[in-house]
């Protein structure tokens, strides 16, 4: 079995989805098929699902993901062209789809969050970790470096100092250290990770989805050092006439909770 991704509506929260990494017996190691499916799901997701308010990413069975599926490596790692295709045409597009998604992404991290699993988590907006979770990319033990597009994603989340430590020493960080370094946003007891992730989703879903998407677009542009010219500014302020904008201001003035409809 090569592993699967389950993408479904949240059982309780409307307009929220859940993506579950599943590879039983392999700590949810990510196969080539899973990388391709990840890209398919997140490419254009915000446009296909205009009312979607958030996506929860988690692993099955109390583990996030223990890297890529190493059992597949002999089929492509030892020849330059196939190796490059794997990193630049399989993994990188999946990570780029996550990073380009305007829907807020929340990672529920339990157990192993290593290698490719850490790369996926690094592409999420908020990372909620259990106290027993572990982070790293000890791939130098397997004799190879981290590919440029993948390292760029990790660098955004972990920073240069932590990335160097994980890659050059092959060190695994515990959750407390990951929190101290800013790699995760919150750490809770292992038994409370799902509950804290749920509360995070509730807070996001209660706010205006349009505002969240515009904030993600602005953050992405500013972090990339791209100019904010007249065209970008016009696009930014188009929310002025939206129903959610009017509802947010009006509800505050009327002293009632807002009801945002994603319009």
Using CA atoms, how far apart are residues 173 and 196, in angstroms rounded to an integer?
21
Report pLDDT for 263. 77
Q: List the pLDDT tens digit at each of the 263 positions of the chain.
A: 589 999 999 999 999 999 999 999 999 999 999 999 999 999 999 999 999 999 999 999 999 999 999 999 999 999 999 999 999 999 999 999 999 999 999 999 999 999 999 999 999 999 999 999 999 999 999 999 999 999 999 999 999 999 999 999 999 999 999 999 999 999 999 999 999 999 999 999 999 999 999 999 999 999 989 998 999 999 999 999 999 999 999 999 999 999 998 87
Q: Are 212 and 204 in contact (CB under 8 A)?
A: yes
Using CA atoms, how far apart are residues 141 and 125, in angstroms rounded to an integer?
29
User: Can you give the residue ranges of every domain in the chain?
Assistant: 4-205, 209-254
Report pLDDT for 184. 97
Q: What is the pTM of this model?
A: 0.96
Q: Are 63 and 113 in contact (CB under 8 A)?
A: no
Q: Which pairs from 152-155 meet CB under 8 Å and 24+ separation?
A: 153/95, 153/99, 153/119, 153/122, 153/123, 154/118, 154/119, 154/122
Using CA atoms, how far apart are residues 208 and 229, in angstroms rounded to an integer?
25
At 7, is the secondary structure helix, strand, or coil? strand
Report pLDDT for 1. 59
Q: What is the CATH number that goes with domain 4-205?
A: 3.90.226.10
């Amino acid at each position: 079995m090569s592993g699967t991704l389950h993408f479904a509506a949240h059982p309780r929260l409307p307009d929220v989805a859940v993506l579950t990494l599943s590879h039983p017996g392999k700590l949810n190691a990510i196969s080539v098929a899973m990388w391709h499916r990840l890209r398919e799901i997140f490419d254009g997701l915000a446009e296909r699902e205009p009312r979607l308010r958030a996506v929860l990413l988690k692993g099955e069975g109390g583990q996030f993901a223990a890297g890529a599926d190493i059992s597949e490596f002999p089929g492509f790692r030892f020849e330059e062209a196939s190796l490059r295709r794997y990193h630049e045409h399989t993994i990188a597009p999946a990570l780029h789809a996550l990073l380009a998604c305007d829907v807020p992404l929340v990672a529920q991290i339990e157990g192993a969050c290593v290698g490719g699993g850490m790369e996926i988590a690094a592409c999420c907006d908020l990372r909620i970790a259990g106290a027993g979770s572990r982070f790293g990319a000890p791939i130098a033990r397997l004799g190879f470096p981290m590919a440029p597009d993948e390292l760029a994603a990790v660098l955004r989340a972990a920073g240069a100092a932590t990335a160097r430590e994980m890659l050059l020493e092959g060190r695994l960080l515990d959750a407390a250290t990951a929190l101290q370094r800013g790699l995760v946003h919150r750490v809770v007891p292992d038994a409370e990770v799902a509950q804290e992730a749920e509360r995070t989703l509730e807070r996001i879903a209660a706010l205006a989805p349009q505002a969240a998407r515009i904030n993600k677009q602005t953050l992405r542009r500013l972090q990339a050092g791209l100019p904010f010219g007249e065209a970008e500014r016009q696009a930014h302020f188009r929310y002025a006439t939206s129903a959610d904008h009017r509802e947010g201001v009006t509800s505050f003035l009327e002293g009632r909770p807002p009801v945002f409809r994603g319009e």
